Structure 1
Amino acid sequence: MPSIQDDILMTTRPLAVIILAAGQGTRMKSARHKVLHPIAGRPMLLHLLASVAELAPERKVVVVGAGRDQVEAAVAGLGVSIAVQEQQLGTGHAVAQAHDALAGFAGDVLILYGDVPLVRTETMRAMLDRLSRGDEPRAVVLGFRPDDAAAYGRIIADGQGVIEKMVEHKDATPEERAVTLCNSGLMAVRSTDLFVLLDRIGNDNAAGEYYLPDIVMLPGAQSAVIETEAWEVAGVNSRVELAGVESLWQQRRRAEAMRDGVTLTAPETVFFSHDTVLGRDVVVEPHVVFGPGVSVADDVTIHAFSHLEGATVERAAEIGPYARLRPGARIGVKAKVGNFVEIKKAELGEGAKANHLSYIGDASVGAGANIGAGTITCNYDGFFKYRTQIGAGAFIGSNSALVAPVTVGEGAIVGAGSVVTKDVEADALCLVRPPQEGKPGWAARFRTKMKARKDAK
């Protein structure tokens, strides 16, 4: 049976892509459209469109039913046309709704599913290349062999991948159900054939629907199947299946990271986003989560239980454990963000340190500066955000509050426990606390007085 590798050539015909997303998604039990549920921080539909984009299609059509407004908002600016399937009459009927959006188009059509988000660009290209082969099949179907064929439609094909029969599970005989090659639903067809063929199929089946695969079995030219691995065509119809596809994606991304020179000390506990970028010789300890928008340079260590999102970490920096980098965090070369430190919309310069229990928000921390334990930048007055500037080499004592907008000059020292509300000059000492006063014997007298009062009750 032909594989993906056997069929990767190069097709030059114009391409249109139809993505079916008209299902009700009732098993998701969600107000969010099914295809907009995220995998690795990105909606399933956008995963698919990102893979499609590498093929440079001339047209892209998403067929929707309910939830059109949500889908339109999600694909705005991506050059996608929306077609609507008002009644759910099967996959063949859904594809037919793209007719007007493809008016005047001449080329190949790739039919995908919005809830099957992991299909690789290489697989799509292999389907199109098989369609362009000398025998010019009517259609190319993507097949797979799952561990449990369950209710999938079956493909009966010869050793060369020429399809002899395709049948839905509910309409299959026991012998046909014993076949392990299953239909993913993904298909490549020439535009000159597609809608003519759709007009010829009927709905004489158990569900009374118009099945897209039925175009394969119409009299005339033969169709072909190529195979891919089951993980690539895993679909999502429920939250359980969503978690399963997320797990598949994460497993592959972890393996890719390690192949590229990243150390994951407990791979199964690390979670990546779709756009996470990691340099070489990065070490990621257990239970680290990367949200969208994270870029990490070479030789960085990220200790356990840290969470990063929208952050940039430069070479040889050290993060965590239990650190949180929020959007806009920029951690400089060899800088350190320690345990229970939160950085938001702030830059730490080269070699700067915030080692313990601090919040640094809307701030700039100069090279070599040291932020003492328990320091916070008070950046919000309930209405507006303000910035704090901390110069290079400055030292901020523990348990200090820097009330923005405020600047601490280069080399300045802020004494522990200070509440800084005015700018501090470079190389100055800032002390904002009352002088310490001792009252000998006061504590003993206080205890005696309070015990007597308690005993009198």
Structure 2
Amino acid sequence: MTELERPLDVVILAAGQGTRMKSALPKVLHPVAGRPMVAWAVKAAQELGARRVVVVTGHGAEQVEAALQAPGVAFARQHGQLGTGHAFLAGAEALDADGEADVLVLYGDTPLLRPETLRELLADHRAHASAFTILTGELPDATGYGRIIRDASGNVERIVEQKAATPQEQAVREFNSGVYVMDARAPELARRITNDNAAGEYYLTDLLALYRREGAAVRAFKLADPDEVMGANDRPGLAEAEAILRRRINLAHMRAGVTLPAPDTVYIEDTVVLGRDVTLEPGVILRGQTRVADGVTVGAYSLLSDTVLESGVTVRAHSVLEGAQVGEGSDVGPFARLRPGTVLEEGVHIGNFVETKNAQLAAGVKAGHLAYLGDVEIGAETNVGAGTIVANYDGVNKHRSRVGAGVFIGSNSTLIAPRVVGDAAFVAAGSAVHEDVPEGAMAVARGKQRTLEGWSRRYWGGMREQVGRKLPWLAGWLERQG
């Protein structure tokens, strides 16, 4: 097996409590651009083709493990917070002991590290037959980081922590990121790490000295962008990481053919998939497993979660779509809400202030204004008038209704579920339909209008004093009526 053919195992350290986050949620589960922080490390490991990924858990272990369940991901628990060396050893014990794989160490709180950078690190490690390669960076002021100390020939000699560094060492700008690639000896050498230090902890950095003692080649691979290893340790750090990832995601979509007139205002989670010639207007938020096909326009300040839009769809401004499917050429909004279970077929029109829930609307259905369509199937080319309500809840249970094709439902009608309205039927405006409507029939379910002449003068005249105080315009009208 050549250097380049060796398999890769990845250990992700994610056991810390993260007290600076001040949260009941484990630090590594705080979301960044649509994924828990630790899931970014898992994703990077998978993109590298890792043979095995082991996540070391500790604080909130059950929650972390539940969030990361996936093929090829295993877990090892660190019992007691005894340092990074102790955490790594817990993970290393779960690796296959075949003596072949390189071992990469990542962290659950560094979501900005690009898979491309890790590929370059791994390639450098293997091309130089290194046994231990450190990912380093350079900052004008590296305060807080361990420093990389090199010998006169430029070879890595040791890592010195900030609190143990001399003034001369503190002036060194090259810092240790904590990310390492090691050969298959790493688990065995890690067992030799001691806690003979002021903190009484087992430091993973001590592996460097152990490798050098073995006469092994040690290298440093320097990052082009030191921000990639920035950790998110508190809420401001979380927001900063979010902003960086959002810019990366938006830039990638624009380069792939998506139009973002105001990219700094648009939020797209990493799990979202967009086609070409999609336009996202200012303030748009796309979350979860949202899928948007070619040629779609999403209007300003709309929010889509776990929603599928087929080609040519238009979502107008201020619409909210959750768990919905919208068919080719349909249009939604403005100010529409499509709740989970909504399925619109081709060419459906959902207008302003229309809400749907668990509703299937066939091709060509139109619901233009101010309607609630819950737990209903509506056939092709049916027109739903303004103010229509499908009353699906009786106070205890939800009931489902079915409306046929080519139906006309007049404005301000209520279908009291469960109802069936047959094909080509009519429902007169203002009807409260409590019986099924046969095919081709017309339902009129409203009281007969009565007009009582002079009623206002008699009613309000008896309340003249109160009217004068509260409704002066009406008092004036009464005066004019004599």
Q: Say whether residues 1:30 and 2:23 are aligned partners.
A: yes
- The TM-score, its normalising length taken from structure 2, stands at 0.85
Q: Distance in 2 between matches of 1:395 and 1:148?
A: 67
Which amino acid letter does the alignment assign opposite residue 174 of structure 2?
L
2:147 match: 154
Give the whole-Å Cα distance in 2 for the aligned partners of 1:442 and 1:367. Answer: 48
The range that moved more, 61-70 or 72-81, is: 72-81
* Contact 2:51–2:72 (8 Å) recurs in 1: no
Look up the match of 1:349. 345
Change (3 A) 1:11 1:451: farther
Query: Residue 246 of structure 1: which of 242, 247, 266 is its match?
Result: 242
- Equivalent AA in structure 2 for residue 439 of structure 1: L
Aligned counterpart, 1:4: none
CA contact (8 A) 2:460 2:467 kept: no
Task: Measure the CA separation in 2 of the matches of 1:252 and 1:55.
Answer: 19
8 Å contact 1:17–1:109 — kept in the other structure?
yes
Tell me, in whole angstroms, the C-alpha distance in 1 between the residues paired with 2:61 and 2:142: 32
Paired residue secondary structure (1:315): coil
| 1:334-382 residue CA offsets vs partner (Å, 9 max, x unmatched) | 21111221112112222211111011111111222210311102x3xxx
> Are 1:190 and 2:190 an aligned pair?
no
Matches within 5 A, 1:302-317: 302-317=298-313
1:358 to 1:146, Cα distance in 2 relative to 1, 3 A: farther
Instruction: Name the counterpart of 1:376.
Output: 372
AA matched with 2:387: N
Counterpart of 1:424?
421
Partner of 1:126: 120
Cα pair distance change 1:121/1:411, threshold 3 Å: same
Distance 1:436 1:372, change over 3 A: farther
Is the contact between residue 216 and residue 222 of structure 1 (CA under 8 Å) also seen in structure 2?
no
| Equivalent residues in 2 for 1:409-420, closer than 5 Å | 409-420=404-415
Residue 25 of structure 1 aligns to which amino acid in structure 2?
Answer: G
**Any idea what SS the aligned residue of 2:359 has?**
strand
TM-score, L = length of structure 1: 0.89
1:180-209 residue CA offsets vs partner (Å, 9 max, x unmatched): 221110001012x21343344444555443
Letter in 2 for 1:424: V
| 2:405 partner amino acid | E
8 Å CA contact 1:414–1:430 kept in 2: the answer is: yes
State the match for 2:459 in structure 1: 446
Rounded Cα–Cα distance in structure 1 between residues aligned with 2:132 and 2:369: 66
Aligned equivalent of 1:398, options 372, 378, 386: 386
After superposition, the Cα gap between the structure-2 partners of 1:452 and 1:16, relative to the gap in structure 1 and judged at 3 Å, is: same
Root-mean-square deviation (CA), in Å?
Answer: 2.3
What code does the residue aligned with 1:445 have?
R
* Partner secondary structure for residue 101 of structure 1: coil
User: Quick one: percent identity of the two aligned structures?
Assistant: 40
- Which residue of 196, 201, 211 corresponds with 2:203? 211
Greater Cα shift, 36-45 or 420-429: 420-429
Q: 8 Å contact 2:273–2:290 — kept in the other structure?
A: yes
Q: Measured at CA, do residues 251 and 108 of structure 1 come closer, stay the same or move farther in structure 2, by a change above 3 Å?
A: same
- Of residues 110, 131, 135 in structure 2, which corresponds to 1:142? 135
**1:447–1:225 CA distance, 2 compared to 1 (3 A):** same
Question: Is contact 2:34–2:288 with CA below 8 Å preserved after alignment?
Answer: yes
Gaps of 5+ in 2: 393-399, 432-445, 470-482
Q: Is structure 2 residue 283 aligned with structure 1 residue 283? A: no
Aligned 8 A contact 1:155 1:179 in 2? yes
- The answer as to whether partners of 2:353 and 2:370 remain within 8 angstroms in 1 is yes
For CA contacts below 8 A with separation 6 or more, give which structure has more relative contact order. 1
Q: Which residue of 1 aligns with 2:8?
A: 15
- Based on CA coordinates, which of the two structures has the bigger radius of gyration? 2
Name the counterpart of 2:109. Answer: 115
CA distance in 2, matches of 1:221, 1:49: 29
Q: CA deviation at 1:175?
A: 2.2
Matched, 1:67 2:60: yes
Tell me by how many angstroms 1:428 deviates. Answer: 2.1
Kept in 2, the 8 Å contact 1:19–1:114? The answer is: yes
1:401-446 Cα distance to aligned partner (Å, 9 max, x none)? 1234222222211000001233222222112143444333222322
Task: For 2:144 and 2:52, locate their aligned partners in 1 and report how far apart those are by CA, in whole Å.
Answer: 32
Instruction: Structure 1: give runs of 5+ residues left out of the alignment.
Output: 1-8, 380-386
Hey, what's the Cα distance between the residues in 1 that align with 2:281 and 2:337?
18
- Secondary structure in 1 aligned to 2:424? coil
